[in-house]
Structure 1
Amino acid sequence: MPVLEVTGLRKSYKDRLAVDDVGFAVGEGETYGLLGPNGAGKTTTISMVVGVLARDAGEVRIDGRPHDTASTSTKSVIGYVPQELALYPDLTARENLRFFAGLYGMRGGEARRRIEEVLTTVGLADRAGEAVGKYSGGMSRRLNIGIGLLNRPRLLVLDEPTAGVDPQSRTAILDNVRSLACDGIAVLYTTHYMEEAERLCDRVGIIDGGRMLAEGSPRELGAPDLEAAFLQLTGRALRD
């Protein structure tokens, strides 16, 4: 059974159809890349997947259970890392994590242990006592991912987590994502960087104009590479 199963997703904003009959599935320990240029419908799709945006039609199931904006049990097994940084710059990394751990209902020793585990996972244990406002963009992105890991999610949803970061931080983030999938977490990863998808993803779905144009492994879709495949399918460059 897939950790995440999406069928027939549809969403309109007034007279604009943003997502049209999108479907895919992500298994345990699998990294699924949702690829497309800005405005393709990626963020709208994942907003419906995590349950922060109501859908007009379709179905989302987490571990076989129906999931929507009103769900609580299924939301508790999702880690969501949005494009925008959800951090308090005046607090330290450890204090940020402590705050969000409290929102998950973690207290005392449980919270302290999990915070230290997350800091180690994202490579910030040695900088945990510094104010986040002094962090580089890449470090802030890694802490943002750490917040999404606090609840030990079955499904981790990452919306363009490397946007605007330097090459060294980008490499660290990609290494983090790969290790999380190896630990059995199902990862849904949106990006418009084809090299990231080729490096990380077991399968990818190419989306544009709100529709899923193709799906398969990077090797199956490559013509001779994913960038070329995207051009063939859409007639435009990925980073338009």
Structure 2
Amino acid sequence: MSSAVSSAHAVPATPEAGASPVLSASGIVKSYRSGPLPWRTRRVLNGADVTLNKGEVVGLVGENGSGKTTLMKILIGALAADAGAVARPDQVGYCPQEPVVYPRLTCNEHFELFGRAYGMRAGHERACRQEIYETLGFERYASVRADQLSGGTLSKLNLGLALLPDPDLLLLDEPYAGFDWDTYTKFWGLVEQRRSRGRAFLVISHFVVDEERFDRILEIREGRTYPR
């Protein structure tokens, strides 16, 4: 993560009368150095905007290199923007495209570690963990180390860690990559269950198969977001 001071900042989302956004991002700009010369840059995001309300499921699509993952990392606070503003809750569930796990820890140990990081009580963490195991169908791997899991089971663990504290906002980058059809349908059942409790989802997908599952779809083109 860059340590440079940026004009993009995260502030707590403030409730207003009526439906207030769970996530609000405006004017997000991000450039990367292009080549060895420091003054040559490539602008990836050029004023992108994203707003999510309670209970919304929003898809984020775009061509490879369009800036989807860059925008997601800025929304979660893992990457500093060059300009813009982000308002989000204090606790956000984040499922990165590439699982970030500890190879020598088991699935159970991952949940215990993340539960402590989220500030969850041990009993509550175990109950939430069990629900995730049962919903995604990988309880039999509870005592298996991450470096011994198949790609599909690793994706389940990656998603499960984001779901663990049942946060108001979930940012998911290609969350069902590697899932079989049964797990894919279970994933959407889980999304429907949580959105009924007011949880909001932003889901990056390389391509959208089931558009009816989303309330809205945003497409990134030339560094900006447009309704699709």
TM over 0.5: yes
**Partner-residue secondary structure (3-state), 2:201:** strand
Q: Is 1:5 the counterpart of 2:24 in the alignment? A: yes
1:55 alignment partner AA: A
Distance of 1:103 and 1:170 partners within structure 2: 28
Q: Percent identity among equivalent residues?
A: 38
Q: Structure 1 residues 122, 183: CA separation in 2 closer, same or farther (over 3 Å shift)?
A: farther
2:161 alignment partner AA: I
* TM-superposed deviation, 1:29: 1.0
Residue 61 (structure 1) aligned to one of 81, 84, 87: 87
Match of 1:48 in 2: 74
Distance of 2:148 and 2:55 partners within structure 1: 34
Spell out, residue by residue over 1:97-147, the C-alpha distance to the aligned partner (whole angstroms, 9 max, x if none).
112112223343333333323333433334423334443322221221110
Match of 1:137 in 2: 151
Match of 1:180 in 2: 194
Distance of 1:8 and 1:50 partners within structure 2: 16
1:163 alignment partner AA: A
Q: When the two structures are superposed, what TM-score results if normalisation uses the length of structure 2?
A: 0.79
Q: Structure 1 residues 121, 172: CA separation in 2 closer, same or farther (over 3 Å shift)?
A: closer
Match of 1:23 in 2: 49
Answer yes or no: is the 8 Å Cα contact 1:142–1:173 preserved in 2.
Answer: no
Q: Structure 1 residues 163, 29: CA separation in 2 closer, same or farther (over 3 Å shift)?
A: same
Spell out, residue by residue over 1:4-60, the C-alpha distance to the aligned partner (whole angstroms, 9 max, x if none).
111111111131111011112111111011111211111111111111111111111
Q: Structure 1 residues 26, 17: CA separation in 2 closer, same or farther (over 3 Å shift)?
A: same
Q: Structure 1 residues 201, 149: CA separation in 2 closer, same or farther (over 3 Å shift)?
A: same
* TM-superposed deviation, 1:201: 1.0
The answer for unaligned runs of 5 or more in structure 2 is: 1-19, 34-40
Distance of 2:130 and 2:65 partners within structure 1: 37
Distance of 1:92 and 1:30 partners within structure 2: 33
**Partner-residue secondary structure (3-state), 1:5:** strand
Q: Is 1:128 the counterpart of 2:142 in the alignment? A: yes
Q: Structure 1 residues 136, 170: CA separation in 2 closer, same or farther (over 3 Å shift)?
A: farther
**Partner-residue secondary structure (3-state), 2:218:** strand
Matches within 5 A, 1:172-211: 172-196=186-210, 198-211=211-224
Spell out, residue by residue over 1:184-217, the C-alpha distance to the aligned partner (whole angstroms, 9 max, x if none).
2100101112214x142110111123222x31xx
The answer for unaligned runs of 5 or more in structure 1 is: 63-73, 216-220, 222-240
| Count of matched residue positions in the alignment of Structure 1 and Structure 2 | 202
Spell out, residue by residue over 1:67-118, the C-alpha distance to the aligned partner (whole angstroms, 9 max, x if none).
xxxxxxx3x4200100011223443322211121122233433333333233
Q: When the two structures are superposed, what TM-score results if normalisation uses the length of structure 1?
A: 0.75
Answer yes or no: is the 8 Å Cα contact 2:29–2:47 preserved in 1.
Answer: yes
RMSD of aligned Cα (Å): 2.1
Distance of 2:70 and 2:195 partners within structure 1: 24
Answer yes or no: is the 8 Å Cα contact 1:4–1:61 preserved in 2.
Answer: yes
